[in-house]
Amino acid sequence: TGLIVTKPKDEVYAFWRKLENLPLFMKHLGSVTEIDAKHSHWEAEIPGGIGRIKWNAEIVKEEEGHLIGWQSIPNATINNAGKVSFKEALGGQGTELEVVISYHPPAGELGASIAKSLNPVLEKMIRQDIMNFKDYIETKYNSPASNYSTSSRSNTTDNPNIIRSEA
């Protein structure tokens, strides 16, 4: 999923890189606790309200200001991986993000069956989380480093190229 937010790239990257911020807009996440610079502990609600799941993850690729890539550690309860890339938006509109997140339940027939039924739910949930991020960073998060004022922002909601999804 890709989108443009009307905040400077360095500010958007710094907000996302502080993993403990993620539950502020990812409604299925109960918490993310940073263990050290590369490792974190995640807790999330299982879709449908049937329980909680916990796992540890590690940042496997990082290009400061440009890219964050992570994956769950081996033998985690759930296999989770993702990456977010950040680049200056064309025309100085803010920051263009490209977000890829995947969840895979434990192996086996039951896990495959659960995955098949939950994939559409997870995809919808992740897209909603990304839209929640756009709303949060643009309207609820105030950073003293931001030099974007409400009056100088271009109206990006009418531009069909701002939000796009990859199948």
pLDDT in tens, 4-25: 999 999 999 999 999 999 999 9
Distance CA 70, CA 103 (A): 12
Structure tokens at 88: 């200056």
According to DSSP, residue 144 is labeled: T
Give the pLDDT score at 105: 63
Instruction: State the average pLDDT over residues 149-161.
Output: 37
| SS3 state of residue 125 | helix
At residue 69, what is the residue type? G
Give the pLDDT score at 127: 84
pLDDT in tens, 27-85: 889 999 999 999 999 998 877 777 788 999 999 999 999 999 999 998 887 888 999 99
39-45 and 52-63: which strand pairing? antiparallel
**With 50 as the cut, is the pLDDT of residue 156 above it?**
no
pLDDT in tens, 88-144: 998 878 999 999 888 776 655 555 565 555 566 667 878 888 899 999 999 987 765
Give the pLDDT score at 118: 57
Nearest CA to 156 among 2, 1, 32, 4? 4
Distance CA 35, CA 108 (A): 30
Give the pLDDT score at 147: 44
Q: What is the dihedral of CA 53, 136, 57, 95, to 10 degrees?
A: 150
At residue 73, what is the residue type? I
